[in-house]
Amino acid sequence: MKELDRAEQELEQQTKEDVVVEVENDNDAQQGDDLKDEEVTLSEEELRIQDLETQVKELNDRLLRVQADYDNFRRRTRQEKEAAAKYRSQSLLEELIPAIDNFDRALGVNAESDEAKSIQQGMEMVYRQLTEALKNEGLEVIAAVGQDFDPHYHQAVMQVESEDYQPNVVVEELQKGYKLKDRVIRPSMVKVSQ
């Protein structure tokens, strides 16, 4: 009996050791699986973080582009408003310039009778008032005779030989040119020396 008890004790001891070894093996296996799960989880999280960082970067770039476009739009709109205010009377002035030309021609005629002279004086007063109002709006006569020819301000219709002027200088103005502030409305029609 003693042998039976001892065999049972040995068996029991062996079983306990086997259970401990199995438990340890299971724990090791579970820790290994946990590590693998953690590695998989970490790499998935890293990928997700990288994707999110990429999205944030793209959104920031888009935001900066939209903001720059908006700033450009505001600046362009402001410039257009300023130009519109600056040149608001251009169309009216363009229509009045032929009337001024006609005044110039009429005032260039020599009046012989008293009646014609009084009419001419009245026209001169109206002409002065009209030109003063146009100057107040920013209309300026382009200087021509004696100036170097500038294609931005002068339109050459003839070239003449002249001993009085250097080459490429305006000799005669055939029609006055006008500019509104810094914009040419009509260039001067001129004769240029060769």
The residues, any chain, with a CB within 8 Å of residue 179's CB and separated by 6 or more, are 139, 140, 142, 153, 185
pLDDT tens by residue, 4-48: 566 566 656 665 565 444 545 555 555 555 555 555 566 888 889
- pTM listed for this prediction: 0.57
Residue 166 confidence class, pLDDT cut points 50, 70, 90:
confident
**CB atoms < 10 A from the CB of 94, how many?**
13
**Annotated domain spans of the chain:** 1-86, 87-193
| CATH class of residue range 87-193 | mainly beta
Which uninterrupted H or E stretch holds 183? strand 183-186
